[in-house]
Amino acid sequence: MAKDKIILSEMDANFKNEIASMPGAEHFQRCFTCGTCTAACPVAEVHEDYDPRRIIRMCILGMKKEVLSSDLLWMCSRCYTCYALCPQGVKFTDVIDVLRDMAIKQGYIPKERYLEARELDKFVQELRCDLIDQKLHPDKKLDNKIKTKLENEIKVKW
Ligand code: SF4
Ligand code: SF4
């Protein structure tokens, strides 16, 4: 999602207003780039390109096309950690929902993506519970069940 250069003529000056007009995202421009969200985000911990603070800056700068067409928009697990910790009340989880909704409604990605992402989040939580169960109770022999579920999920295309 990151760009080496920012070309002002390619920016959409109204993008920030468009976002701020949506419920939940009204105060996102209060962000003062403290980095608390990024430091606490479990996705940023494992994905070097995922950075909620950077996404907010890109929105404020007007990098509409780049934000709405980015795969990174779908990496957020909607855990609400950033939402709870932000000193400026930015509600980044709601901002991500707004951006996903805009990406679908404005034709940047297929409309099915939102439901598929929610289903995938549910699957990942189920998988996590199964793995913890397997580690705590190896005698249950859940490994084959887990492998089959994972293999089936890998085949699902977006
Ligand atoms: S925690 Fe809030 S103020 Fe700090 S960078 Fe993230 S969104 Fe901005
Ligand atoms: S809601 Fe998304 S951006 Fe915020 S901490 Fe969780 S995974 Fe990161």
pLDDT given at position 13: 94
What pLDDT was estimated at residue 31?
Answer: 98
Distance CA 6, CA 12 (A): 12
pLDDT given at position 10: 79
| Ligand of minimum distance to the alpha carbon of 56 | 1
Q: Ligand 1: which residue has its CA nearest to atom 2?
A: 86
Does the structure show a pLDDT above 80 at 3? no
- The answer, yes or no, to whether any atom of ligand 1 lies below 6 A from the CB of 95, is no
| 47 C-alpha to ligand 1 centroid (Å) | 18
Model confidence at 51, in pLDDT bands (50, 70, 90)? very high
Alpha carbon nearest to ligand 2 atom 2, residue: 76
* 41 token code pair: 């985000």
Q: Which amino acid is at 143?
A: D
Rounded average pLDDT over 91-99? 97
CA of 27 to the centre of ligand 1 (A): 11
Rounded to two decimals, what is the model's pTM?
0.89
Residue 93 confidence (pLDDT) above 70: yes
In the chain, domain spans: 12-105, 113-155
Residues 6+ apart with CB under 8 A from 150: 127
| The pLDDT of residue 82 | 98
pLDDT value of position 113: 87
CATH class, domain 12-105, is: mainly alpha
Least confident of 37-41, 49-53, 110-114, 148-152: 110-114
Binding site membership of 35 for ligand 1 (Cβ less than 6 Å): yes
The pLDDT tens digits for 6-41 are 777 779 999 999 999 999 999 999 999 999 999 999
Between 52-61 and 92-105, two packed helices, what is the crossing angle to 10 degrees? 50
| Cα 38 to Cα 51: distance, rounded to the nearest angstrom | 6
Residue nearest to atom 4 of ligand 2 (CA): 82
